[in-house]
């Protein structure tokens, strides 16, 4: 073959490679698909090799490129995958016949083998991606199950917490939880200096209810009473079943006056409530005792609050039941050795300065409408002492009218102010005059009565404040008590 013919043949192969192989490669890149070189010289390996191994993967296979099929029996044993056995296949008669010593066919089959290898890798990658997506879905489903289990566990924990702190019969807080909140609220009241009241409640003659109607009826009464307590306390208050027929209500930010009003309101609601046992109506009353911690530190420990409320409850029982009593500390119960203004153990202690005065007052007890009148002995912004000709029962709400003298330069006539108060103590003057010279002010009065103010209008409160200012400005005011 001359040089000219060789060059012509080489140019012909170059043109065919550029046209056939390069064209397939460009199509694969542009269209992002798989394109294979068509070889007209492929033969059936089982016929060429006269193979009778019918279980061979390439036996009568539609893919005549047996070198691309994994696990063939060419060497009397299963071969590996395409990449592992490809080197041996180059020596095989079937492969040589397919390429026929033609460079273009060899390049074409190499191209096909490369495409197949890339396609297998892509299929493997897609399979891995699909497997990863399935695993991700499984993980998401598992995560969702775990979240549901966590939510269920949280709900059960809340339920267990509720069961551990609630009384099974009444649904109120139990004694165990009461011990927690008692110390917690006392410490908060002590730190931030706000009043904290404790109301202890006991059902009157509850043993008779159990003896008459049975313990199941008694349980029904306790449940109904608990419903009343629950519906008559604020969100900040804590209603507790203390034990048996005793209940406790903790009232933060509530002084003794407000606690008394709430206790009396509750007592009246209970006494008027139609308690039922079966088809029978049972009249139920309660006795209530109140103790209050204020910023004067009259209570040194949280437990004292309960002890004093229980003592007040005992006094309510002793006085005939179905009433509310506020505990007033005795001198030996103060715990700090300080002396207090006391009358036989009842401490009258006001946070505001007092002035001695003889202003006229008139009043009416709210419950029995009993009227009384007298002259005030001393007066402060939060309460007063007045001289009375008769003894008055303590722990009673009263409506007062005070007739204050005219303020110089402001008023020409006496000014009447109306106040709602609470009778906190009542003592004979003879038991008190040894320490305080009030003999000249008695005017026929035999008793000295202390009243705590619990409700006063803004207008009357403003006038009362102006009155105090005018009294304090007077020189040498002898009646000012710190």
Cα-based distances in Å from 244 to 27, 308, 454, 455: 92, 19, 33, 35
Name which of 334, 322, 303, 335 is nearest 395 in CA terms: 322
Pairing of strands 346-347, 342-343: antiparallel
Q: Within 10 A of 240 (CB to CB), how many other CB atoms are there? A: 27
Q: What is the DSSP letter of 70?
A: T
CB burial of 403-434 (b: ≥16 within 10 Å; e: otherwise) equals ebbeeeeeeeeebebebbbbbbbbbebeebee
Tokens 């299929």, located at residue: 123
Residue 462's contacts (CB-CB under 8 Å, 6 or more residues apart) are none
pLDDT of 393 reads 85
Helices (H), 166-255: 175-192, 206-213, 215-231
Q: Under a CB-based contact definition with an 8 Å cutoff, are residues 329 and 297 in contact?
A: no
CATH class of 350-473: mainly beta
Give CATH 2.40.10.220 domain extents, the chain: 350-473
Distance (Å, rounded) from C-alpha 99 to C-alpha 108? 9
Distance (Å, rounded) from C-alpha 225 to C-alpha 216? 14
Q: What is the mean pLDDT of each run of 10 residues along the chain (482 residues)?
A: 53 61 67 71 78 80 75 71 64 76 74 78 87 92 93 89 89 94 93 93 93 92 96 94 96 90 92 89 93 77 93 90 81 37 35 70 87 84 83 87 74 78 83 49 72 84 77 45 30
pLDDT of 15 reads 64
Distance (Å, rounded) from C-alpha 227 to C-alpha 61? 85
Q: How many CA atoms lie within 13 A of 152 on its CB side?
A: 6
pLDDT of 425 reads 84
Give CATH 3.30.70.270 domain extents, the chain: 175-327
Structure tokens at 302: 């949280």
What's the per-residue H, E or C state across 155-185? HHHHHHHHHHHECCCCCCECHHHHHHHHHHH
Distance (Å, rounded) from C-alpha 380 to C-alpha 480? 10
CATH topology of domain 175-327: Alpha-Beta Plaits (3.30.70)
Q: Under a CB-based contact definition with an 8 Å cutoff, are residues 420 and 382 in contact?
A: no
Residue 283 gets the label, from left (phi > 0), alpha (psi -120 to 50) or beta, of beta
Handedness of CA 453, 456, 461, 467 (dihedral sign): negative
Q: How many CA atoms lie within 13 A of 297 on its CB side?
A: 8
Distance (Å, rounded) from C-alpha 328 to C-alpha 309? 10
Residue 352's contacts (CB-CB under 8 Å, 6 or more residues apart) are 380, 381, 382
Name which of 257, 275, 276, 274 is nearest 265 in CA terms: 257
Distance (Å, rounded) from C-alpha 104 to C-alpha 11? 12
Name which of 307, 344, 313 is nearest 326 in CA terms: 313
Distance (Å, rounded) from C-alpha 93 to C-alpha 83? 19
Q: Under a CB-based contact definition with an 8 Å cutoff, are residues 201 and 249 in contact?
A: yes
Q: Within 10 A of 209 (CB to CB), how many other CB atoms are there? A: 22
Whether this model's pTM surpasses 0.75: no
Distance (Å, rounded) from C-alpha 396 to C-alpha 112? 108
């Amino acid at each position: 073959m001359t040089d000219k013919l060789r060059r012509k043949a080489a140019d012909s192969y170059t043109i065919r490679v550029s046209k056939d192989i390069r064209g397939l490669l460009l199509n694969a890149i542009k269209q992002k698909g798989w394109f294979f070189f068509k070889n007209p010289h492929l033969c059936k390996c089982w016929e060429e090799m006269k193979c009778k191994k019918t279980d061979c993967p390439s036996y009568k296979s539609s893919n005549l490129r047996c070198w691309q099929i994994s696990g063939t029996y060419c060497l009397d044993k299963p071969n590996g995958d395409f990449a592992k056995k490809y080197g041996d296949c180059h020596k095989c008669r079937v492969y040589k016949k397919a390429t026929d010593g033609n460079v273009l066919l060899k390049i074409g089959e190499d191209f096909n083998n490369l495409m197949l290898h890339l396609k297998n890798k892509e299929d493997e990658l897609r399979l891995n991606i699909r497997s990863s997506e399935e695993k991700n879905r499984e993980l998401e489903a598992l995560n969702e199950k775990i979240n549901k289990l966590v939510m269920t566990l949280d709900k059960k924990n809340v339920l267990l917490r509720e069961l551990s702190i609630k009384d099974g019969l009444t649904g109120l807080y139990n004694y165990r939880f009461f011990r927690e909140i008692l110390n917690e609220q006392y410490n908060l009241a002590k730190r931030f200096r706000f009043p904290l009241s404790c109301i202890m409640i006991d059902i009157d003659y509850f043993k008779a209810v159990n003896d008459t109607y049975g313990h199941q009826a008694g349980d029904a009464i306790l449940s109904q009473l608990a419903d009343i307590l629950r519906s008559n306390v604020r969100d900040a208050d804590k209603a507790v079943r203390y034990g048996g027929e005793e209940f406790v209500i903790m009232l933060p930010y509530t002084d003794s006056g407000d606690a008394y009003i709430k206790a009396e309101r509750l007592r009246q609601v209970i006494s008027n409530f139609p308690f039922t046992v079966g088809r029978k109506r049972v009249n139920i009353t309660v006795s209530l005792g109140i103790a209050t911690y204020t910023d004067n530190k009259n209570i040194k420990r949280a437990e004292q609050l309960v002890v004093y409320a229980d003592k007040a409850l005992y006094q309510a029982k002793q006085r005939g039941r179905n009433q509310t009593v506020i505990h007033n500390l005795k001198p030996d119960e103060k715990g700090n050795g300080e002396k207090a203004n006391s009358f036989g153990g009842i401490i009258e202690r006001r946070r505001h300065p007092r002035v001695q005065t003889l202003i006229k007052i008139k009043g009416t007890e709210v419950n029995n409408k009993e009227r009384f009148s007298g002259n005030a002995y001393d007066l402060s912004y939060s309460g007063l002492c007045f001289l009375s000709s008769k003894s008055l029962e303590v722990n009673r709400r009263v409506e007062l009218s005070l007739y204050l003298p005219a303020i110089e330069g402001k008023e020409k006539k006496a000014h009447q102010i109306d106040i709602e108060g609470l009778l906190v103590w009542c003592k004979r003057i003879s038991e008190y005059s040894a320490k305080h010279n009030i003999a000249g002010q008695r005017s026929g009065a035999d008793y000295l009565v202390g009243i705590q103010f619990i409700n006063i209008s803004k207008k009357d409160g403003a006038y009362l404040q102006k009155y105090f200012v005018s009294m304090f400005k007077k020189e040498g005011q002898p009646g000012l008590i710190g």
